[in-house]
Structure 1
Amino acid sequence: MHIGRRTSPMRILFGLLAALCLATPALAQSRPVTVVELFTSQGCNSCPPADAYLEDLAELDDVLALGYHVDYWDRLGWKDTLGDPAFTARQYGYAETLQRRGVYTPQAVIDGRQHLVGSNRPAIETALAQKATREAPMLSLDTGDGSTISISLSGADGSDPSLHLTIVRYIEEAAVPIERGENAGKTIAYVNAVRSVKAMPLPDGNATLNVPRLQKGEGLAVLLQAYSPKGAPGPILAAARYEAVDD
C-alpha cells in the first residue's frame, strides 16, 4: 500500500454514498468503542473458548467484536469455511507493527495496539477497562433515509498521512459443522465473522464508495486506523458499525 501525503481539516465531515438498501435509518456508534479483532480458525482446537468469548463481547454496546478466520490451519485436514488469505495477511501485518516474529491462534488484537490470547478473559477485560481512560476521536455513521451513509469524524489529525478508513463487512452469526481436523464432530457458533476487509485513504472532502447491498444478518464496520508505510495495520483510533435489520 502506498501512502501519500494529504491536507485535510481537523474536523472531517463527508458523505459516504453507498449502494446499501438498508432497512432502518439509525445513528450508529456515536460514542467511543473498543475494537477486539479475534484471529481464529475452525481447525484450531484451542479456539472454541475464544470464539465463545467473542460472542459475549459482541453483546457489549461499547465493544466492536470481529472474527477473522485465518487459513494456515487448513493443512490439518479441514478448510475453514470462513477463512481468507487476506485475514492471514492482516494478522501478519499486526505481527509487524506489534513487533512479533510470528502469529498464533486464538489471538485477540485490541484497538490495533496490543495482542492477547483470545480466550484470556481477565486480560482482555483489563484492556477494555483501560480504554475508558484514553481520549479518542469520535466516529459515527448516520444511515439517513436508508440509501446513504454519512460518516462524521472529529478529534483526529486529518493531515496525518498514515490514517485510513478500514471498511469491514461481516456476518453476524454462522453455525458451522466441522467434519475433519482438530475440531472434527463439533458444530461451532461464530459471531461477526468477517467476510471482507479493505483500507482506503481518508478523502479530502466528499467521496463516494460503492458497497454491495447489505442483507439481513450482515454488518458494516468503519475503522479509523493508522497504517505503516508498508501497509501494515496499526492503532485504531475510532470505530463505528451498522447492521442491517428488517422493518
Structure 2
Amino acid sequence: MKILSLLPISFLSSFLLLSAPSYAQNLSAPAAQNKNPTHSTPLQPFVELYTSQACPRCPKANEQFAEFAGTNDVIAVTFPVGIWDFMGWKDSFAKKAFSNRHEAMNVQLGRRGPYTPQTIFNGTKHCSAVKEKNMERRLDEVANTPNPMSIQYNGNQLSVAGNKSELEIWVVDFIPGKTYATPTSGQNSNKTMVYHNRVTDLVSAGTLPANGGKLNAHCIESCAIIFQHPNHGEVLGAITYPDNSGFENNT
C-alpha cells in the first residue's frame, strides 16, 4: 500500500480500473461458495455397516464401527436391515432399499447371502464388524488411488468430468454422528444400540457416462454421494454434503 500511495493519481486510477474485474471476481468467489457449496476434493473410501436390532452380535459391533469411523479418514455410514425380523423383533430403522443393496452387494462379493454385522469397503472387501482390527486390515486392502475426476456438487446438482468409465451415483441421506435405539424384545431386549451416521434414505440419482456429465441429486440435509460402477460393482469412493458432515460432533 505504501508503494501505491506514491504513484501519480492518474496512474493509480488507471491501475485500479484495469484490475477491477479480477478483483471483484475474487471478492465474490467466497460468497458464491457459501451460497452453493461444491466439492472438488478427492474421493474418500466408503465404508458401510449392515446391522440389525435382532442380531445378538450387533450392539457391540455397532460400537466398534463407531470407534473405527472416528479414527480413520473414511466416509462411514450404517444401514439398518431387517434380515433377522423373523426372530420376533422387527428392526425399527430398516428399509427395503437397504436390504436390497445389502443383498446385491453380497452377490457382487461372490457370497451366497448377506450377514450381520457386516462391513463393506468400497464394494470390494468385507468383514465382520465385531473386531476393529479386522476392519483396519480390510481398509488397508482397499486401493485408494488418486482419482482424476473433477466433482462439483451443491446439494441438488452433481457435475462430474474426467471419469474413465460409466458410474452409478447414489445419494445416501444420513443422520450425522450417533443415534440410539433400545429394542424392547428379542435377542437385544433392553440393550441400547448406537448407530454411527445412520442412513435414513437411499436413492439412485442415475448413471453418468464415461467422461462425465450432470445429474440431479437432491440431498435432504446431510448425505454421502457414492460413485459406484453399475450393478453394485466397485465403489470409487464418496463425498459428503455439506463438507465433512460425516465427521460432526455426536448428536
TM-score by length of 1: 0.73
**CA distances 1:210-238 after superposition (whole Å, capped 9, x unpaired):** x3642xxxx2110110123xxxx111012
Check the 8 A contact 1:29/1:141 in 2, yes or no: yes
Q: Does 1:156 align with 2:166?
A: no
Check the 8 A contact 2:40/2:150 in 1, yes or no: yes
Give the unaligned 5+ runs of structure 1: 1-22
Check the 8 A contact 2:223/2:241 in 1, yes or no: yes
- Say which structure is richer in strand: 1
Alignment CA distance shift 1:149-1:124 (3 Å): same
Letter in 2 for 1:193: R
Partner of 1:18: none
Letter in 1 for 2:168: H
Q: Does 1:226 align with 2:233?
A: no
Alignment CA distance shift 1:73-1:212 (3 Å): same
Q: Does 1:240 align with 2:245?
A: no
Runs of 4+ in structure 1 over 3 Å off: 23-29, 130-143, 148-155, 203-209
Q: Distance in 2 between matches of 1:153 and 1:61?
A: 26
Check the 8 A contact 1:178/1:184 in 2, yes or no: yes
Q: Return the index of the structure with the highest Cα Rg.
A: 2
Partner of 2:184: 179
Please point out which of 165, 169, 172 is paired with 1:165. Answer: 169
Alignment CA distance shift 1:141-1:74 (3 Å): farther
Check the 8 A contact 2:157/2:216 in 1, yes or no: no
Q: Distance in 2 between matches of 1:208 and 1:227?
A: 18
Q: Does 1:70 align with 2:81?
A: yes
Q: Distance in 2 between matches of 1:32 and 1:58?
A: 16
TM-score by length of 2: 0.72
Q: Distance in 2 between matches of 1:131 and 1:212?
A: 27
Q: Distance in 2 between matches of 1:62 and 1:237?
A: 15
Q: Distance in 2 between matches of 1:137 and 1:212?
A: 24
Letter in 1 for 2:50: F
Alignment of 1:41-120 (within 5 A): 41-60=52-71, 62-120=73-131
Q: Distance in 1 between matches of 2:194 and 2:134?
A: 23
Check the 8 A contact 1:142/1:151 in 2, yes or no: yes
Identity score, percent: 29
Task: For residue 109 of structure 1, give the secondary structure of its aligned residue in structure 2.
Answer: strand
How many residue pairs were aligned? 207
Q: Distance in 1 between matches of 2:144 and 2:97?
A: 33
Alignment CA distance shift 1:54-1:129 (3 Å): same
Alignment of 1:186-205 (within 5 A): 186-199=191-204, 200-202=206-208, 205=213
**CA distances 1:32-78 after superposition (whole Å, capped 9, x unpaired):** 31111111101111011221122123324620111111112112222
Give the unaligned 5+ runs of structure 2: 1-33
Alignment CA distance shift 1:182-1:64 (3 Å): same
